Amino acid sequence: MLGYFLIAIIFLWMMFSYISTTVWRNTETHIDWKYEALTSDLGPSPESEIRRRISSYIKTSDPFAEIYILQDRNGKTVETNYPYQAILDDDWIVLDDFDEDSCERLMALQNEVRLPLQCQDSIHEEHDEGPNLGWFSISSISEILPLPNETEGYVGRVGKIGDYKLLVGRSLDLVDETRDAASFLTLIIIPISLLMALLVGLFVSRNVRARLKVINDRCNEIETSGNLSLRVPDTGPDDEYSILTSHVNGMLGRLDKAVQNIQAVSDDLAHDLRTPLARLKYNFETALSKKSSTKVDLQTALQKGLDETDSLLETFSAILRVSQIQTGKRKTKFQDFNLSDTIDLISEIYEPQAQENGHDLQCHTSADDMALFGDQEMITQMLSNLVENSFEHGGQNLKIKLSAKQLDGQIIIALADNGNGVSQEDLPNIFDKFYRGDKSRQNPGNGLGLSIVKAVADLHDAKITARENDPGLFVEIIFQSTSQRP
């Protein structure tokens, strides 16, 4: 705290010094400007012209603000609005201020000078100590910068104009008033401002600590309890800390989702692999326990075991694939690609298979160049699963239509068939992992095909829906097009 106080004192001192220096510099600049204005372009008769100009300036100037003294070569004053005799050197000088008798002396010296009406009052109020005819010469106005007592009188510049010497001066009262204002600003206003800033800083700091404490307390609670479903409450204004809270909650949400995904994978493995493993174990035990088992019987049992193993590996790969998609890591591979090319690839791969099985597969897009931002490999997997799902569960002699179109800044992919369809009871669950409706239980599969389709759609923030096609199944997936993505 003491350090801050010392810094504030140093700052105030530097501020005061800077303002004082600036005031003196401005005074010097003003005098130089006035002097140059009087002495420039004097023509062929500089002495007479300078007298004319000084006389004109004296008649229109306020002697309490600015003074002019013009002396000849003998030091006699020929034009002035300063009531005392002054010795002018070729330098900067400081002259005394007026006293209470100055107005009468000045009027006697220059009858044409138009003094302000409040002249006598001002003198009696501000100068009641009598005349002090002292003066001194300085080589530069900067010499009086460190002298705070030089606040009365005039500071002026002396120069030669032919045989004349000219002084152009400015009242130090104006400098003193400016320095008083600067002192008031430095010693009163700025400390008050610093105090208010300190109080505001303490309030803001307390508010910041309170809001950070809410975040820290909730993070400690989550760490202690292990409950990742908890979130940091956000009751403050919409500011940086609200954004921080949003990011923390988003991070907790992703972490919670990842943990749930791990738990789901474990449950899925236990659910879907237990029965095949038990069946595999039973086949091997049965073959080995029969004393009458021939070599052919053992080979048959081994072949069944290999088939079960292949099915297990396929299921295991599908579970891991769904898990990988749901983590969102594949988003790093997102890029623009032409969806029309992908639809053409699906047609090229599956149309021969469809014809072999008596199906009619039609694939088309509304445009040859349909840009989509996403993972092209995953989109291809999704479309393949949709077509294969129709092949496996749709029935015989199917008509399958795979299409893609652009509408209102969106890309809509649709697959429709006229097969067996899905009952109203099964429709809400067809995208769940391992779910198999009554109509498809007799067909081979693990119930993960449409789960992968849903996971890929979710990865791309697409909306997927399924409904009856009367007859058959209709699946629609809506993507944002490349031009509409954030």
Q: What's the pLDDT tens digit per position in 275-311?
A: 777 777 877 777 777 777 777 877 888 888 887 787 7
**Picking from 114-118, 137-141, 288-292, which range would have the lowest pLDDT averaged per residue?**
114-118
- Kindly report the number of other CB atoms within 10 A of residue 87's CB atom: 12
As a whole number of angstroms, the distance between CA 390 and CA 416 comes to 9
Of 378, 413, 407, 415, nearest in space to 483 by CA: 407
pLDDT tier for residue 143 given thresholds of 50, 70 and 90: very low
Q: Could you give phi then psi for residue 350, rounded to 5 degrees? A: -100, -15
How many Å apart are CA 430 and CA 437, to the nearest integer?
Answer: 8
Q: What is the pLDDT of residue 341?
A: 93
Q: In which band, very low, low, confident or very high, does the pLDDT at 416 lie, cut at 50, 70 and 90?
A: very high
User: Residue 461 above 80 pLDDT?
Assistant: yes
What's the CATH class of domain 2-180?
Answer: alpha beta
In the block, residue with structure tokens 């075991």: 305
| Token output for 459 | 């990865």
What is the pTM (predicted TM-score) of this model?
0.46
Minimum mean pLDDT range among 51-65, 97-111, 416-430 = 97-111
Give the other-Cβ count within 10 Å of 175's Cβ: 19
CA distances from 304 to 144, 262, 276, 281 (A): 110, 31, 11, 11
Q: Hey, what are 462's tokens?
A: 């697409």
Helix (H) or strand (E) holding 41: none
Q: Which CATH number fits domain 333-484: 3.40.50.880, 3.20.20.450, 3.30.565.10, 1.25.40.80?
A: 3.30.565.10
Q: Residue 68 is which amino acid?
A: Y
> Is 238 or 45 the better-scoring residue by pLDDT?
45
**Banded model confidence at residue 437, pLDDT cuts 50, 70, 90:** low
Q: Higher confidence at residue 413 or residue 277?
A: 413
pLDDT at position 130: 32
How high is the pLDDT of residue 400? 93
Tell me which of 152 and 340 has the higher pLDDT: 340
Model pLDDT for residues 186-240, shown as the tens digit of each residue: 677 767 777 787 788 788 788 878 888 888 888 888 888 888 888 888 776 777 7
pLDDT the model gives residue 271: 65
Specify the pLDDT at position 110: 44
Mean pLDDT, the chain, integer: 76
The β-bridge relationship of strands 399-407 and 360-365 is parallel
> pLDDT: is 415 or 61 the higher one?
415
Whether residue 408 contacts residue 402, with contact meaning beta carbons closer than 8 Å, is answered with no
The ranges assigned to domains in the chain are 2-180, 226-264, 266-329, 333-484
Q: Residue 446 has what pLDDT?
A: 63
Same topology, domains 2-180 and 333-484? Answer is: no
Radius of gyration of the chain (CA): 49
